[in-house]
């Protein structure tokens, strides 16, 4: 798709209650992210979608006139329309017609950087095209009567293309499985570690990457910042950074953003990427509080988390961009500004409080042979060395009760000279 493409947005709704201006605005923003210029919009209220062209005959002619007058290159359907209808309308207009899922897939294709992400996007794109081929074949077969004798050469070619696409998907899935094995090994190593995991989730372009960068600055890790862009789906590949706050460490994941009605093909193909959210110990739902539709976008995130089976995890709602607000009244959560840094320290403190809630303190005498065990726990335990002798070391340990269990057998409540 050329960057200079000029599009007409098309929308069909049954009644005024189904007309969703927020959803249309989201489509406009998706076009901007794909560097597509929206030069016109057309909509129709109808009880049903026309089985051949989506719009009724009069509206199709109106659309044809708009295309000619505005010199459009593309028609984009924001509302759900069967793939076969998209295909036939494109042939009728002699113009590219695409749906919202295809647009999102295009954006993902241009954003993918890692081999894993590129494979995932290609699989999702082919699966979507496969549904188009299947539905078009079924519709045309029904129109011809469905018998083998009635199949035309075009339908035979479609069947061949269908088989080729299926073979390509199988090949890509094999390649992806190899990449995912490495991903799972890394995940398993992290799971064996005592360090906790936090995932940034939220509607795309809510400020997740900006928040990660602010937290990295607090840790003196400005050189490890991630890319920030003011557009939908600026982040596609998951980034992971190790952070510390008041001697408490955790891994922070910056994940792909969500949108309403995220295509099933993408959720399925990006299951490994989205696992960063479903396997975390804590989720930070980052919300752009300056967006008039922030409540809807907050709900979209919660619905998506449910879809990927991550809705059982603890969530901290973080309202970003409060520097653009006159008041934070009505925001029931943590309020921050990634631009000014306001509220970041309070957020970091709350994260560690949730990750490490119940703490205990004890004094222990550890033989030198057990010091390695202590070193492996330092990311979650605060350790103060009290005294060393030839047999071992006395330490004061503070941290979550679960992590202190291995040390209870070494507990020493009293020793001369040690309080």
Residue pLDDT tens, the chain, 419 long: 555 799 999 999 887 766 778 788 889 988 988 899 999 999 999 888 998 899 999 999 999 999 999 999 999 999 888 888 998 999 999 999 999 989 988 888 887 777 887 888 888 888 888 876 665 555 555 555 554 455 555 556 777 888 898 999 999 999 988 887 876 676 666 555 668 899 999 888 889 989 999 999 988 888 888 776 665 666 566 788 999 888 788 999 988 778 877 776 667 666 666 777 888 899 999 999 999 889 988 988 888 888 888 889 999 999 999 999 999 988 988 999 999 999 999 999 999 889 887 778 899 999 998 888 888 777 778 888 888 888 899 999 988 877 888 898 898 865 544 44
Indicate if the alpha-carbon torsion angle 97, 103, 105, 111 is positive or negative.
positive
> What is the C-alpha separation between 114 and 111, in angstroms, rounded?
10
Q: How many CB atoms lie within 10 A of CB 293?
A: 15
pLDDT for position 125: 87
Phi, psi of 176 (to 5 degrees): -65, -35
- Distance (Å) of CA 264 to CA 104, 119, 135: 12, 16, 17
pLDDT for position 14: 84
The pTM assigned to this predicted structure is 0.71
Q: Output the six-digit token pair for 207.
A: 């400020």
- Distance (Å) of CA 299 to CA 25, 260, 296, 302, 316: 17, 9, 5, 5, 14
pLDDT for position 418: 46
> What is the C-alpha separation between 354 and 281, in angstroms, rounded?
9
Instruction: Specify whether the CB–CB gap between 30 and 62 falls below 8 A.
Output: no
């Amino acid at each position: 798709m050329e960057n200079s493409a000029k599009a007409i947005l098309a929308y069909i709704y049954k009644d005024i209650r189904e007309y969703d201006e927020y959803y249309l605005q989201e489509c406009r923003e998706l076009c901007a992210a794909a560097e597509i210029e929206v030069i016109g919009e057309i909509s129709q209220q109808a009880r049903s979608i026309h089985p051949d062209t989506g719009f009724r005959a009069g509206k199709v002619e109106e659309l044809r006139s708009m295309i000619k007058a505005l010199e459009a290159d593309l028609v984009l359907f924001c509302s759900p329309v069967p793939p076969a209808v998209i295909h036939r309308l494109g042939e009728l207009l002699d113009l590219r017609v695409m749906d919202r899922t295809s647009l999102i897939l295009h954006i993902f294709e241009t954003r993918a950087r890692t081999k894993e992400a590129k494979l995932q996007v290609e699989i999702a794109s082919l699966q979507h095209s496969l549904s188009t081929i299947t539905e078009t074949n079924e519709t045309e077969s029904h129109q011809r009567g469905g018998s083998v004798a009635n199949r035309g050469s075009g339908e035979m070619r479609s069947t061949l293309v269908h088989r080729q696409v299926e073979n390509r998907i199988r090949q890509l899935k094999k390649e992806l499985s190899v990449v995912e094995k490495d991903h799972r090994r890394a995940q398993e190593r992290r799971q064996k570690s005592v360090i906790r995991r936090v995932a940034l989730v939220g509607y795309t372009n809510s400020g997740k990457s900006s928040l990660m960068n602010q937290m990295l600055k607090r840790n003196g890790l400005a050189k490890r910042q991630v890319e920030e862009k003011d557009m939908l789906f600026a982040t596609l590949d998951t980034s992971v950074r190790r952070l510390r706050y008041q001697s408490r460490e955790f891994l922070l994941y910056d994940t792909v953003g969500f949108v309403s009605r995220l295509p099933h093909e993408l959720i399925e193909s990006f299951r490994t990427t989205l696992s960063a959210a479903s396997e975390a110990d804590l989720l930070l739902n980052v919300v752009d509080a300056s967006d008039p539709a922030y409540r809807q976008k907050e709900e979209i995130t919660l619905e998506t988390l449910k879809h990927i089976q991550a809705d059982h995890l603890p969530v901290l709602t973080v309202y970003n961009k409060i520097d653009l607000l006159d008041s934070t009244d009505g925001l029931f959560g943590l309020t921050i500004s990634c631009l000014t840094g306001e509220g970041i320290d309070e957020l970091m403190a709350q994260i560690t409080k949730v990750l490490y809630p119940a703490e205990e303190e004890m004094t222990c005498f550890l033989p030198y042979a057990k010091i390695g065990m202590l070193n492996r726990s330092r990311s979650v335990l605060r350790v103060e060395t009290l005294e060393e002798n030839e047999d071992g070391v006395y330490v004061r340990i503070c941290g979550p009760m679960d992590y202190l269990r291995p040390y209870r057998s070494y507990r020493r409540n009293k020793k001369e000279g040690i309080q």
